[in-house]
Amino acid sequence: MRENNPGVSRRSLLKAAGAVSAAGMTALSAQEADGFQLLSTPEALPPDRSIPSFCELCFWNCGLFAHVRRNTILSLTGHPQYPNAKGKLCGRGNAGAGFVRDKDRLKYPMVRVGKRGEGRFERIGWPTAYKLIAERFGNIKAKWGAQSLALFYHGKGGPLLRTALVAYGSPNYAAPSYAQCKAPRDVGFKLTFGEKLTSPEPLDFDNTKLMVFFGSHLGENAHNSQVQEFSDALARGAKLVVLDPRYSTAASKATLWLPIRPGTDTAIILAWLHLFTARGTYHKEFVENQCIGLDELAAHVKDFTPEWAATHTGVPAEMITAAYDLMREAMPAVLIHPGRHVSWYGEADTQRARAQAILCALLGSFWAPGGIFRPSSPELGDFPTPELPDLPPHVDEAAKRYPFALEVTTNGIREATRTGKPYPIKGWFVHGTNLIQSIPNVKETVEAIGQLDTLVVCDIQPTEITNYADILLPEDTYLERYDDLAAGPGLAPYIGIRQPVVKSTHDTRPAWRIAKELATALGVGDFFAFDSFDEYLAARLAPTGVSLEKLKQDGIAFVKPKFPPYLDPAEEFHWHTPSGKVELFSKQLEEKGFSPLPLFIPQPDPPPGTLRLLYGRSPLHTFGRTQNNDILSDLDPTNNLWMHPDLAKQLGIEEGRCVLIENADGATSGHLQARITSRVMPGTVYMIHGFGHTSKELTRTYGMGGADSEVIERYAVDPISGATGMRTEFVKIKIAPRTGRRMPCDKP
């Protein structure tokens, strides 16, 4: 038992006591009493222990304390020392216990008995599961070579599974958090500064005078500490410019909201670059000492005036200039948030990220107070393994595509699986990613799955992708397992530990154990030569001097930063680019046949009668992984289709009407409730991603809402980073027919 219980302060205990006695003053209805049933069980007693760990409901991985009695989680609270939590959890993080008690969760390993996609399985034991996978993967390796196996992963358990795959001889591992998310940003910043932005983004909210957001709908996008720092900065009086075609929560706080036509941000950035270079108002010290290519840039943006940008973006020239004035006054303490999910339009996305990076350079805000700081990461040791085998080229390399990609692309592996080119892929291992909802064009994903000899899926709940599995492995939830250590980058770099706070009551296992046991079955067990996971963790900690015992008690340990967070702009500094300088002009891009200076690539207007489909986040959900959670589904059960009042009037749709969207190829979404609001532009519709589950086994969320992924089929691939742009789909709104499915908007 821990001595002090940080979750339950004296004050909150007093408050809770007050609540109980207040409830006792009036008689409860039967239904209310049912709701309070917990109070009559032993679990209503105070927790007997509080255990630190970190959250897995999104990659922000906030530190937490679990307050537990016996084997029941009573509550989760934010870890006060974690920089990404600051003592708080977001709505999703608070609801974590819902995953542990979920009756729908995967409870034991299974093998498919029905057709792929049908979701009919039979229980098997773990030894049988490993034996089956080893046989099938062994056959694929013998017939096609180990490179014909691929791993899709997202989350903390992935890297150890990757070790198993690489040890077995395959270079094909990919996560949607690259090509369906931040790839263009990684590549655009790397090309310019020789560094990509870390996660969390190293944004200096504490010292900023002006924040500039591109999309970045913070507040709806609920990255815990970033939302806290953002609101603190506003409270302190920092100014805010938001570019968004929708009046987002962040836009509602802005000093200046630029209601931009979708896909035209780069035109505005080019106009700003024009003003800074034409007027000579850029940060002279940073640009003269650190950058190359200013003259070429100035010539390139010569004609990109605010008036020119206004014609493309729909934002008046005066507003564009006003935003420039705000930046000029606040520089270098200008915080550019380039967005995180930035795979919107294909090549235009890396061009936009390049323009944003160049803007940071002209503002002198890179590694400057109030802009983007220089993060430090802790350096963990590697668990000793035999030498890794030489790997053949991965699919994108073999196909000679995406010359600047920093990771293998999920879409590249899918393409190889579908077409057999540049070489066939015959086995997939999918861990913690629902490929049906996360890679655009479901038909291509299903077609690829049809070409597989074997599909293994490891998940915690029965989602769309698990229904296609041949062999299904249930993982412990994040509150029941150890995982690899967190190595948090930032101003105060830290090491965090995930550890079990309760025991799984099902036949589930953690990813590290699955990786080790599967590797053993595949004949590469010597890459996992530890007897207990403690041994593995201790080896990782060895170079840091942090004790595992102490880390288990405290949850977190800080290490000394490697660099100061800011660079003196006059300092002689070698950047990790070919020239050693910040490259406003990119010779690398030019050599591969791309524009060395950022281009504005206009997007087509929606054909008459159609609307551009835009999507984003709900603060109470993470992608498609939280809709079946009992607490979150109560709070936010379904999604809406946001549409402009003029459009609704023209189509005769009233608020709350049950509608669906259809793309030009006839693909339709599930039912969405109409939300009529002038917060979206005419010509666009907006929805939350992650709803519209078609897996009947997710009993709480099945049939609730619609999925953007069901209609996003015409995606645009960025030839520079390999990302799939997904805001390229045009849709029509239809009044929904009545169906047997459970629809909250289907009023009788």
Ligand X SMILES: Nc1nc2c(c(=O)[nH]1)N[C@H]1C(S)=C(S)[C@@H](COP(=O)(O)OP(=O)(O)OC[C@H]3O[C@@H](n4cnc5c(=O)[nH]c(N)nc54)[C@H](O)[C@@H]3O)O[C@H]1N2
Q: Which residues bind Mo ion (CB under 5 A)?
A: 181, 341
Cα–Cα separations (whole angstroms), residue 434 to 60, 439, 722 = 19, 9, 20
Please report, as a single letter, which amino acid is at residue 318. Answer: E
Residue indicated by tokens 């000899």:
453
Cβ-in-10-Å burial (0-12, 13-18, 19+) of 237 comes to: exposed
Residue selected from 475, 517, 713, 718 as contacting ligand X according to rule CB under 6 A: 475
CB of 219 to ligand X, least distance (A): 9
**Could you tell me which residues are beta bridge partners of residue 292?**
583
Question: At its nearest, how many Å lie between ligand SF4 and the CB of residue 79?
Answer: 10
Cα first-last separation, the chain: 54
Question: Which one of the spans 149-157, 165-173, 442-450, 588-596 is the region binding ligand X (CB under 6 A)?
Answer: 149-157
Which residues are CB-contacts of 10 (< 8 A; sequence separation ≥ 6)?
A: none
Residue 55's binding partner out of Mo ion, ligand X, ligand SF4, none, with CB under 5 to 8 Å set by partner kind: ligand SF4
Regarding 244 and contact with ligand X (CB under 6 A), the answer is: yes
Q: How far is CA 581 from CA 288, 317, 453, 590, 627, in A?
A: 10, 33, 49, 16, 46
Residue in 8, 51, 57, 395 binding ligand SF4, rule: CB under 6 A: 57
Contact pattern from residue 502 through residue 541 relative to ligand X, giving x for each residue in contact according to CB under 6 A and a dash for the rest: ----------------------------------------
What minimum distance in Å lies between the beta carbon of 425 and Mo ion?
24
Number of shown-chain residues binding ligand SF4 (CB under 6 A): 14
How far apart CA 586 and CA 577 sit, in angstroms, is: 10
- Site membership for ligand SF4, residue 521 (CB under 6 A): no
Q: Copy the structure tokens of residue 478.
A: 């994040």
Amino acid at 509: R
Q: What are 73's strand-pairing partners?
A: 68
With contacts defined by CB under 6 A, name the span among 239-247, 518-526, 535-543, 589-597 that binds ligand X.
239-247
Degrees (nearest 5) of the Cα angle 106, 108, 112?
Answer: 85
Binding of residue 224 to ligand SF4 (CB under 6 A): yes
Distances (CA, A) of 461 to 62, 98, 248, 615: 22, 12, 32, 24
The binder of ligand X chosen from 53, 461, 633, 728 (CB under 6 A): 461
Among 64-72, 116-124, 172-180, 414-422, which window interacts with ligand X (CB under 6 A)? 172-180
The alpha carbon of 558 is separated from its chain's Cα centroid by a whole number of angstroms, namely 25
- Kindly tell me which of 86 and 714 has the beta carbon lying closer to ligand SF4: 86
CA distances from 181 to 197, 341, 627 (A): 13, 4, 20
The answer to whether the CB of 216 falls within 8 A of the CB of 337 is yes
> Which window, 230-238, 273-281, 289-297, 333-341, contacts ligand X (CB under 6 A)?
333-341
Find all residues with CB under 8 Å of 302, minimum gap 6, and list them: 274, 278
C-beta of 747: minimal distance to ligand SF4 in Å? 33
Q: Does 223 bind ligand SF4 (CB under 6 A)?
A: yes
Which of Mo ion, ligand SF4, ligand X, none has residue 614 at its interface (CB below 5 to 8 Å by kind)? ligand X
Residues 594-653 that bind ligand X (CB under 6 A): 614-619, 621-625
**What residue 224 binds from ligand SF4, Mo ion, ligand X, none (CB within 5 to 8 A, per partner kind)?**
ligand SF4
Phi, psi of 468 (to 5 degrees): -90, -5
Q: Which of 259, 262, 378, 596 binds ligand X (CB under 6 A)?
A: 262
For ligand X, the binding residues (CB under 6 A) are 56, 58, 154-155, 157, 176-177, 180-181, 214-217, 221-223, 243-246, 248, 260, 262-263, 265, 339-341, 431-434, 437-438, 458-461, 463, 465, 475, 477-478, 614-619, 621-625, 686, 689, 708-709, 712, 726-727
For ligand SF4, the binding residues (CB under 6 A) are 55, 57-58, 60-62, 89-90, 92-93, 222-224, 622
